[in-house]
Structure 1
Amino acid sequence: MNSTENKESVLVKALAEHLFGKLSPGQQYVVDSTIKYKGNNCQEKINNKCKCGCDTEICYGATGIGHADVWHGFVDIMMTFSDQKPESTASVYLALNDDGPSRNKKMKISDGNEEDDDNILCDCVLESYLNKVQDKATAETVVFALAYQITNPSSTGFIPHIIISPNEFYIVMYEPVHDVLLWSSEFPLISQSDCKLQGVSIIALWMVLHYKLFCNGVDELFDDVGEIKADFSNQLDVENLDIYKKKLEIGVQSFGATPHINLVHSLREVDFVFPKLKLRK
């Protein structure tokens, strides 16, 4: 591309318009308006059009979540319903496995032989990915879900956040009523055999974005909810917890100059991969 625009912002716009905008319940989205100014050397006037060649006008808006006195930030994409009400969020990365092999590649084991990741999954693969994005993704997931709960007090289901790159995506979901945080396995976005969208993954993504049709929370599914709690409430003092429970906002334009406060430094020990859950018979 002959563009000074940041490659990640170009990817954000393409995924918003051609993937999330097509799959979300209201077929609508909002892209973080601040990405228009990222990576621009001031020699080019950044317009509102998708850079894939379709020239579609991108819907920009305020995607700030949180509160200035605690954790706050701007998610890349918000998926909205027909009433412009945000229902889920997504963060976009150019790559998710730069520091290690991905699940669909070969890797060397101690005796020098190569085996598929499907058979042997080295801990370094998972740690490589989690170390790069887990803090930001966890904060975005938890804060958005808590803010959503404030405006939708009757909601009892998991609220999803999608972490996506051109090759794969992950789903993080938080259920604030029972304090349960879950991280999915990797979903391949593109089939390596024919370079087309992976059909099963697209269906899974559609189901997640339409979570209200499929998910009612955890109380009817699991016997021992306590074993999979994120223990978020116990990580905070009473004053900050009150902010998280009552004062978080969605769609904030600016948070001012208040320092960004780390939310998830103490949640590093959470098992982000789906634990072995005991289903109610």
Structure 2
Amino acid sequence: MHEMQTAMLTNLRTTYPKCGVVHIQDILNIQILQDFLKDGVDAVEKYEGVCQQSFLMLLEFLREQVKHETAIQKLLTTASFQTSGNKEMQIMAGLAHHLFSQLIPGKVYEVDKYAEQLQRECSCGCKAKICTGDTSVGSPGTWHGRVDVILNNTIAVAHGNKQNTIDEAEDDDTDIQEAVYDDTDEDEPQTKQRKVETDKSCDNCTEVKATEKRDSVQPDIKVLKQIFAEAITNGFAQVNRDKNALSHFLIPTFGVTSDNVSICLYDPESDYLLLIREQHELWWLDGRLDTVNLTIIWLFLNFTFFTRKKLSDVVELDKSGLHKDLKEHLKFYRKAQTKANYVSKTSVGLPWKLIAYPNCKKHRIASVASDS
């Protein structure tokens, strides 16, 4: 981040700090996909249980794609909502119901039941009931709050506003600098809460590499902060909840807008933090859902079958450094849990928000090369 700050001050806008890169084929369980490419649906029969169901969910979604994309487009284009906040809430619920849940076995999802202005039924007109529940995650000693959506009781989804292109974002250096050094909570979601029980400082910050494409889309800074906070905290909470099933997996967290999806991955035991470098656009120009990016989303929604366990066995990757820098605060994350009924609307900060300083060490966030 110091390198980025120096580059901006000297107007060298393309000089970003380096970070590790992991190719997406190294993360995925390629054998399952190769078998599917070779033999089609027949190849899936040798994989039992939920893996079969995951493929069936994708095929079912593709058969009903027009129905779901029409429903989402109605939510995006309707002018019947009373307020913009109400519209964003209904879009979030619609994406949970018509997109994400349709790609996982059982279609299990929960929208934050405390979300303001949330309707009981999908506002696209399909009359489907919106599933709500306790989406809280964290521990009282550190970041804790409510995520927007929980999928399959495991994967967190953060919903944000429409994102800007990098060219547009570069017009305002102030926003970028605030992302590096801002210690206020004014720009954080109002439905989240954090508490640090000690004032002892510990050094840490975040290192992120921007994409080289000038016309690519970068996450809104607020959404990016939220994704990192939720990815780290939810990762710990999920491993605590089901260590046998989730130990040493890169647990995904999705950041979604009406146009794009970001994917962050965190292994809380090995301390690997990855951010897929490019945004995945949801739509073609003709208004159809992008089936290629939908398939990528599907792969990470079903990560226990389609991604590798213990990435370090096949890829040499530096740890993020979060464990080391949190020091005595790490014990709070090891007690994180889900469904603890955190209902406060106090502002939230990043997991390390109150203990970060400009002259601190760097966290390593590896970018995932999604073009492989």
Give the TM-score, by structure 2 length.
Answer: 0.58
* Greater relative CO, 1 or 2 (CA 8 Å, sep 6+): 2
CA contact (8 A) 2:224 2:255 kept: no
SS in 1 for 2:252: strand
CA contact (8 A) 1:138 1:264 kept: no
Q: How far does the alpha carbon of each residue in 1:54-86 deviate from its partner, in whole angstroms, 9 at most, with x for none?
A: 121100101011012210121111111xxxxx1
Show the counterpart of 1:248: 336
Distance 1:65 1:98, change over 3 A: farther
In 2: Cα distance, 1:166 partner to 1:258 partner: 26
Q: How far does the alpha carbon of each residue in 1:159-191 deviate from its partner, in whole angstroms, 9 at most, with x for none?
A: 000111111111100011210111112111101
Distance 1:269 1:34, change over 3 A: farther
> In structure 2, which of residues 152, 156, 164 is the aligned counterpart of residue 89 of structure 1?
156
Distance 1:202 1:97, change over 3 A: same
Q: How does 1:187-198 map to 2 (within 5 A)?
A: 187-192=280-285, 194-198=286-290
Q: How does 1:222-233 map to 2 (within 5 A)?
A: 222=315, 224-225=316-317, 227=318, 229-233=319-323
> In structure 2, which of residues 131, 156, 166 is the aligned counterpart of residue 59 of structure 1?
131
The structure in which a higher percent of residues are helix is 2
> In structure 1, which of residues 61, 73, 79 is the aligned counterpart of residue 151 of structure 2?
79
The structure in which a higher percent of residues are strand is 1
Show the counterpart of 1:27: 107
Percent pairwise identity: 23
Show the counterpart of 1:49: 121
In 2: Cα distance, 1:258 partner to 1:120 partner: 37
Distance 1:99 1:87, change over 3 A: same
CA contact (8 A) 1:99 1:129 kept: no
Question: Which blocks of at least 5 consecutive residues in structure 2 are unaligned?
Answer: 1-78, 170-210
Show the counterpart of 2:140: 68
CA contact (8 A) 2:275 2:366 kept: yes
Is 1:148 matched up with 2:241? Answer: no
In 2: Cα distance, 1:58 partner to 1:9 partner: 12
> In structure 1, which of residues 186, 190, 200 is the aligned counterpart of residue 279 of structure 2?
186
In 1: Cα distance, 2:284 partner to 2:252 partner: 24
SS in 1 for 2:311: coil
In 2: Cα distance, 1:257 partner to 1:169 partner: 25
Residue type of the alignment partner of 1:58: I
Aligned CA RMSD, in angstroms, stands at 2.8
CA contact (8 A) 1:63 1:250 kept: yes
Show the counterpart of 1:116: none
Is 1:3 matched up with 2:103? Answer: no
Residue type of the alignment partner of 1:201: N
Show the counterpart of 2:313: 220
Distance 1:258 1:77, change over 3 A: closer
Give the TM-score, by structure 1 length.
Answer: 0.76
Distance 1:268 1:274, change over 3 A: farther
In 2: Cα distance, 1:139 partner to 1:91 partner: 10
Residue type of the alignment partner of 1:133: V
